[in-house]
Amino acid sequence: FRRVLFRSDDSYDNPETRPPSERCLVGFGSAGGPVMTNVIYNNRYQIVQTPTHAMILVEMVHDARIIPVFASASEAREKHRPDVMTPWLGDSVGWYEGNALVVETINANPVQHGLISAKGVVTERFSRWDDKQVTYEFTVEDASLYTQPWRGEMSLNHTQPWYEYACHEGNYALTGILSGARARERGEKARTAN
């Protein structure tokens, strides 16, 4: 599943019409969530917990989800942002059920690649399997895209330290894309003038 984020006839007008990942605003695919999925490379996560928050940092483009953690599911759900706010990576709140961190995400940004619409809900569970592995489970509920809820899971395994990922908005690639579009327009204009 992939949303069409721009049309080919007008996506070369300016940097703002290029996809968010090309502009280094958010990672490629949906590595950061909602629903954290593997992409071609840079699939590492760093999870940091404090008494009041959890942070999930994605290696790809350094996407960071800052998740406030509450005493219960009902308290967490009361703290969701208003529906008009659609941050990158969605609006996430968390709570613990036993030893599992449960994260509920709503209000996905409609421009971001993802597996849910702005009306969908993703519920994730992070459970420590052992000292070197966390089990990541998710359930997707989105009647506007799917006929029924669906779920999946994967293991997050301890790895060595990361190499820095560098993404540079306005790099040569973006300049080249926009310059190429202007050259194509000039060529088309010259052909129609003759």
Q: What is the pLDDT of residue 9?
A: 56
3-state secondary structure of 191: helix
The pLDDT, as a whole number, for residue 106 is 94
Q: Are the beta carbons of 93 and 67 closer than 8 angstroms?
A: yes
Q: What is the pLDDT of residue 30?
A: 74
3-state SS assignment for residue 4? coil
Count of positions (residues) in the chain: 194
pLDDT of residue 42: 75
Distance CA 66, CA 72 (A): 18
Residue 174 has a pLDDT of 75
Tell me, yes or no, if the pTM score tops 0.85.
Answer: no
Q: Could you state, in chain order, the average pLDDT of each consecutive group of 10 residues for the chain (194 residues)? A: 46 74 73 78 86 90 90 97 88 96 92 82 95 95 95 90 71 77 89 86
Nearest C-alpha neighbor of 164 from the set 65, 89, 62, 24: 62
Q: What is the 3-state secondary structure (H, E, C) of 30-61?
A: CCCCCCCCCCCCCCCEEEEECCCEEEEEECHH
pLDDT at 171: 64
pLDDT at 4: 43
